[in-house]
Every structure is written in structure tokens, then in C-alpha cells.
Structure 1
Amino acid sequence: MISKWRWIIVQFSRKLWVRALLFAVLAVITALAAIFLKHLIPDDLSTKIGADAVDNILNILASSMLAVTTFSLSVMVAAYTAATSSVSPRATRLLMEDTTTQNVLGTFVGSFLFSLVGITALSTGVYGNEGRVILFVVTLGVIALIVATVLLWIEHLSHLGRVGETSDRVEQATLKAVQQRIQYPWLGGAPLTDAQQIPSDALPLYAEKIGYIQHIDVAAISHWAEKAEARVYITSLPGAFVHPKRMLARVVGTHELDQEKLQSAFSIANERSFDQDPRFGLSVLSEIASRALSPAVNDPGTAIEIIGRGLRILCHWKEPNTGDSECIIEYPQVLVPPLKLEEFFDDFFTPIARDGVNMLEVQIRLQKALDALAQLGEPFYRIARDHAQQTLQRTNAVMEFDGDKQVLQELVDDLTHQSGHQP
């Protein structure tokens, strides 16, 4: 698991302005490099290759790149707005972290600044004929880069902000978090399988802020625990909403807690994060389906698609086992509770079953997805069976047509009858 500072750097690198700034700095350095490299160019080469035309080219680039950047920003904002209203505000964050969009805008801004610096330097005469040659060659390269970027941008805009594209991003982010949690089921620490393991005399560590835990630096906690010869029992996982009266952890083996150091290992913010919190991704997918099932949207096809995405994610889940060599334990001094499969099902299936209770096609797909998960064996079978029966009870309370009820009843019976085949 990554440390807090590495995690902060990763979050920082996802900001749009950071990548644009890097491109802009690179453009300025490139434009000024011609001043220091001009002695490498023969005196008469500028007239042979038409380097005198670089002034006009840079003027065209400066004016056009400013317009293209402004247009791209407006399109990007429109895509974010569309995703917020038609998909989910929680999914918009993934669009804002899209590397293609950031690279495109960074290229446009960098090209604009490159042109400005080049025009300014040319007006002062610091380039000379030799420097013009270098600037001319670099400008041709910038033009080629702009053409390739514009073509990429046109293709990217065709699906930016659409429901399917945004849902795919949420699915990929959630699947990545699930796979990471399979590898580090206890965030790199040791398993805390039961709260009864925590000694009654353990000292409590409370949160100093109100918000959601986004990241836990288990390595920093373990480093402190080793020095203090203590054991730390984590009680609040990433995604938990904490406040000054909720415990983050409990500590055994010391009479003094370094409150500031231990609290700083818990990154708390106003919103949940996809990175260490796979439940959040499933909740966002469920939210997309619920929005599609609302009377204002009435799009059961999207809900059915989301059920398939959730099924793909849950099929990757593997219950942690202390004897599994794939489960990495790096910090035995820190004990962390595992995620529960029941919580995954509750986060994903319950809202869809509730909001699509009167739509037969959605209920059929929901029951088939539960049936597919039940065939994975325990504990999937038990949890899927319970959710299938709960969903059937919801629909029986709302649906009036007996034929629809019979169809769903048969699906639930088929799932229940798998009990003889379970290991």
C-alpha cells in the first residue's frame, strides 16, 4: 500500500491545472532553448529553409490556440454538467481526472505560451538568424503535435460525458480498487476478523475532523507502533464517515498515544474516494442505475447495463484468507478488519431492487445476476439467495399482475434449488 505522501502526490497529479502547467513550462523552456543553441546552426541556413516565416506562423498559432483552448474548456464544462445531471455528481470526478482531456488542454495552453514567448523573443532580436532556424524547426514540430492532438480531441469528444463512457470509468476505477483490496485485504496489515479480538483496555483514538476517510497510511501507523512496542486495531475503514466521537482505532501496549501522528495517518475529506474504497464505486454504479430508473429519466436499459457492470466487478472478488500467499501482510503490528461481501451486495443490489421494483425487465436481470453470483459458491450463494428473496418480497408488495410475479418466483426458485450443488 502506498504511503500518505505518495497518495497525496498521486491526487495532486490528477489535477487539471498541474498537467497544463507542466506543458506550459516545457513550452517556455523549448522556446528559450533556441537562444542558447543558435551557435550550432550555420549562418546561411535560415534563408535556405525559409525560417523568416516563423514570425507569421507564431502569430497564427497564438491567436488560434487561444480560441481553441477557450472552446475546449467550454466543451469540457458542458460534458461535466451533462455527466452530473444524467449520470452522477460522484462520477464527474473521474471525468475531471481524465488524462486525455488534461493532455489535450495542456498541449493547447503550452502551444499558446510557446507562441507568445517566441514572438516576444523575436521582437527583441535575441534569436538572430541562427536562432530563427531552431525556432522554425521546433514550431513545425509543435504544429504536427497540435494536428495530432486536435484529431485525438475530436474522437474523444464523441463520447466524453456520455452515460456509457462515464459508467465505464466508474467500473474500471471500482475494479481497480477491488483488485488492490484482494491483494491487500487488510491494507497491508494483519487481519482483524472479530471485534472481540480487541482487548477491553485498549486506548481509543478519535477523529479530529468530520468527513469521510479517503486513505489510511498503515505504514506510518506500523512505524509508530514498532517504536512504541504497541499494537493498533483499526476500527474505521476508508469510506467510513467519522467525527470527533467516532473511534478511528484502538491501541494496546502503551499508556501514551501520539494523537497528532496517528490521526495524520488518516486522510479525511468531505467526499469519498475510489482508491481504497471499492464500496464507493459500487455505490456510485448503483446511483447511476437509480437515476436511470427515476420517473423523470425512465431508462431501464441503463439500469440493466449497470447490473451487468456490477456483476463483472463482484465476480472478481475473492474472500481473504490468511493462508493465501496472494494476501500481503507487511505490517503485523496493525490489525485491520476486512471488507464484507454482504456490504458489497447491500451497496449495489438493494438500491436498484428498491427503485426498479415495478419494472419486470429490471427485476429479471437482477435475479439473473444474483443467480450467476450464487453459482460461485459460498459465501456468494448464501448472500445472493437472501437478496433474491428480499427482492421478490419487494416486487410482490408492488406488482399487481400475477404473471410477472410468477416469472420472478420461478427465477428465485431456480436460485434456491442450487443449494444441493453448493460446496
Structure 2
Amino acid sequence: MRMDTKFGWKLQRLAKKLWFRAALYALAGLLTALFSVFFSPALPPFVSAKIGADAVDNILTILASSMLTVTTFSLSIMVTAFGAATNNGTPRAAALVAEDPTTQNVLATFLGSFLFSLVGIIALSAGAYGEEGRAVLFVVTLGVIAIIVAAILRWVDHLSVLGRVGDTIDRVERSAGHALEERRRYPSLDALPASAHDLFAPVDAIMIHAPDIGYLQHVDVAALDGIGEKFGTRVHVLAIPGVYCDPSRAVAWIAKAGNHGADEAEMTAAIASAFTIGAMRSFEQDPRFGLSVLSEIASRALSPAVNDPGTAIDVIGRLTRLFWLFRTLSEEERPGKPRFQHVTAPTLSLVDLFEDAFDPIARDGAGHFEIQIRLQKTFKSLSGIDAEMAAEAKVQSRRALAWAERSIAVDDHLARLRDAARQIEALGAGAER
């Protein structure tokens, strides 16, 4: 799903909130209970005599009490899963567990069923249902019970993985993969790629500074393009999502010349409002964040308190897959002409991506031979993508080897690592930093 506009991005984030889905299901439960009142006149009188509708009172009472208990119990399980994701992975990954659609659907089903039962009991007590209405309510209640049973079966199966470190890593990898795939298709957020000239504003340029303090979460490129078209100028974006901003930092600039004139204040305010800044980084437009979170999970696994090199090796394998995903494009996936012609924006720095992903693992796994040899194999694999990747892989290979030489005392292990690093150095040429 594209998130060019701030409204679309905020709507997508709103849809991931637990209360949003629960509110929709609760509203559906309320409407379903009231449906029986208005639909009952269309039901032939003899139908109610053939359906055991008298039992609906007891069924609704049982549903109301049991669904409240199950909802409370499920919420406690969800909170425990948040804690497990934080303790076994990283606090940055807990947000993805909270956005789990299966958990949200199950909890919303339980809450909606509770409200359905509650409204049904109240309506029955008020005499809102006739005999036909009770028959309709009975049939609808059977349908709600079927939905509840399906939700419970799905929930029981889901609990076997919720909050576990493997499940947390899967979620982070998927989020990072989606962000990288979006950036692969639109390297400059579907704007014109910023040249070296675009990244350095002239002395007479109009600078637009960050409107708040925090991490840049989203850039409304569509709004910036509309502003540029309206005022006959081009907006040069300097900061992309993931950058930490404060009011002293320029996030964009525009040329002084142009027909903005007296509307300059209005224009700069509109440009600044296109940059959304928050207290925490978000996964959607910030691929580096996903890589950093994966690296954090690996670092925690390598800590003496956890001592789980296997998880770190698993993370390295996933990082390898993500880099291949990011740098390999089919002909159909190659970026076309940027849609927003009045905006320039920087592309992701491959140096930053490598450092976010591998530097912490190389540092914290310096004394683990199995980690270091896996890193060297990864760098060799990534060297086969293209010359730019090969050049950065060589830099990372040397850096990881330097960490290993300071911590590994076994000569045979060091010899194997040095041999692996030499093989990477001997691979295809590329401009080196």
C-alpha cells in the first residue's frame, strides 16, 4: 500500500491500533443485535414456533459472562507476549507484536460478541423482540457462536508462537522487507533522485527547518509536489524518514528565485507540515529501522546473559536475504519515471544500511568464531550482487576481521577467518571507500 500522503499514512497506522479493530467489531455486534428487531416483521409467524427461540435468553447470558472472561484472559496473554518480545528480542519489536492482526481480530471478536450479547439481553428485557424477533435473534446467535468457536481455535494455535523470539524476528523481517521493497521500487520516495547539487543549498536558498524534535517518521511527497507545482518551484528534501531532527536542522530547501513572493511564509509552513516527526522511529518509510532492530535482537542474543549464538546466526541469514531483496530487481520492478517531478529526495545510503545491519553484530560477536565466519560468508555472498555491494562488503569484512583478531585467541580460527576475508578481497573490483 502506497503512503504518499500524510492522511493515507496516518489512516494505515490507525488501522493497526487494537482499539480501532475492536471498535469496528463492537459496532458490528451492536448492529447485529439490533438487526433482529427490525428484521423480525419480515419473518412468517409460524417460523418462530419451529425454532427453540425460548432458549435465547440463557444462551445470551452465558455468552455475555464467558466472553468478558475470555477477553480479559486474552488481554493478559497479549500483555505477557509484549513482555516476552521485549525481553527476548528488543523493545522496538514490541510494537509489531501489538499490531499483530490475528491477535487483534480474536480480541475484537470476543469484545464484539460480548457487546452483541449484552445488547441482546437488554433488548429482550425491554420487550423489544416479539416472537419473530426472538427467532431471528436465536439464529443470529448461533452464527455468532460459530464465529467465536473459529476464533478460539485460531487463537489457541496462534498462542504457540506469539511473543517467542522466532515469531518476533519474523515480524521484524517482514516489516523491514516491506520497507526495503517499497524503497527498491521508489528509491527517492517516487520523487526525482537528489544530485550532489540538490543536497547542498545555496547561500540564498530558503531553508525549511524541522517543525518539532524527534525522529522523522513520514514525508508527504505528494503534498510537497503540489506545493512545488503551485508556487512554480522545486522542493529539495534533505532528510528522509529515520533521521533525528530538531528545529535547527533543515529538512528541505527551495530556491530564492521564483514567483512565491509574498506567499513565502505560507509556502514554508506548508512544506514543514509535510514532515511528520514523532518520538520513535516507524517501520513503514524507514528501512534502516528494521535492519537496526534485527541487529539489536542479534546483539541481545550474543550478550553473556542470553548467550544464544544460534539466534544471531539466524538474524544474519535474514539480513542476507533482505539485502538480496533490496538490490535485485526484475525488469518489471525497475523504477520508472518518478511521479513527483517538483520534488527531489535522497536515496538510501548503502554504507548506512551495512553499518546498521552488521556493525553491532561484528562488535558483540567478536569473540564468537561461529558468528565471525558466518559474517564473512555473508559478505562473500553479498559481494556477488553488484560492484557497489562488493566494495561495501569488503569494508565490512575487514572491520569484522579486526574485531575478531582482538578477541579470538585460537590461531586456527583466526587463520580461517583471514582466509575467508582474503577471498572477499579477491572478488570483483569496485570503488572502495
* TM-score, L = length of structure 2: 0.94
Distance 1:420 1:210 in 2: 42
Query: Which of 61, 70, 73 pairs up with 2:72?
Result: 70
Query: Which of 212, 221, 226 pairs up with 1:223?
Result: 226
Shift of 1:193: 2.8
User: 1:119 corresponds to which residue?
Assistant: 121
Distance 2:8 2:154 in 1: 31
User: 1:108 corresponds to which residue?
Assistant: 110
Shift of 1:208: 1.9
Q: In the alignment, is the contact (CA less than 8 A) between 1:185 and 1:327 conserved in 2?
A: no
Other structure's SS at 2:192 match? strand
User: 1:343 corresponds to which residue?
Assistant: 352
Q: In the alignment, is the contact (CA less than 8 A) between 2:198 and 2:236 conserved in 1?
A: no
Give yes or no for the alignment of 1:18 onto 2:27: no
Shift of 1:103: 0.5
Give yes or no for the alignment of 1:246 onto 2:249: yes
Listed as ranges, the matches of 1:12-161 within 5 Å are 12-161=14-163
Q: In the alignment, is the contact (CA less than 8 A) between 1:213 and 1:266 conserved in 2?
A: yes
Letter in 2 for 1:186: S
Shift of 1:420: 6.6
Mean alpha-carbon deviation: is it higher for 300-309 or for 253-262? Answer: 253-262
Other structure's SS at 2:247 match? coil
User: 2:379 corresponds to which residue?
Assistant: 370
Q: Which runs of 5+ in 1 are unaligned?
A: none
Other structure's SS at 1:244 match? coil
Letter in 1 for 2:181: Q
Distance 1:328 1:132 in 2: 61
Distance 1:243 1:353, change over 3 A: same
Deviation string, structure 1 residues 167-200 (Cα, Å, up to 9, x no partner): 0110011011011001111111101131466451
Other structure's SS at 1:181 match? helix
Distance 2:239 2:192 in 1: 15
* TM-score, L = length of structure 1: 0.96
Give yes or no for the alignment of 1:291 onto 2:300: yes
Q: Which runs of 5+ in 2 are unaligned?
A: none
Distance 2:59 2:197 in 1: 69
Distance 2:429 2:112 in 1: 65
Shift of 1:327: 3.8
User: 1:4 corresponds to which residue?
Assistant: 6
Deviation string, structure 1 residues 67-86 (Cα, Å, up to 9, x no partner): 10000000000000111111
Distance 1:327 1:85 in 2: 43
Distance 1:46 1:237, change over 3 A: same
How many residue pairs end up in the alignment?
Answer: 419
Deviation string, structure 1 residues 295-351 (Cα, Å, up to 9, x no partner): 11000000000000000000112389xxx9524401121111111111110100100
Distance 1:199 1:163 in 2: 45
Q: In the alignment, is the contact (CA less than 8 A) between 2:82 and 2:94 conserved in 1?
A: yes
Aligned residues: CA RMSD: 1.6
Q: In the alignment, is the contact (CA less than 8 A) between 1:194 and 1:337 conserved in 2?
A: no
Listed as ranges, the matches of 1:266-305 within 5 Å are 266-305=275-314
Query: Which of 336, 352, 362 pairs up with 2:361?
Result: 352
Other structure's SS at 2:182 match? helix
Other structure's SS at 2:216 match? strand
Distance 1:334 1:27 in 2: 46
Q: Give every structure 1 segment of 4 or more consecutive aligned residues whose post-TM-superposition deviation is greater than 6 Å.
A: none
Report % sequence identity: 48
User: 2:216 corresponds to which residue?
Assistant: 213
Give yes or no for the alignment of 1:393 onto 2:402: yes
User: 2:339 corresponds to which residue?
Assistant: 330
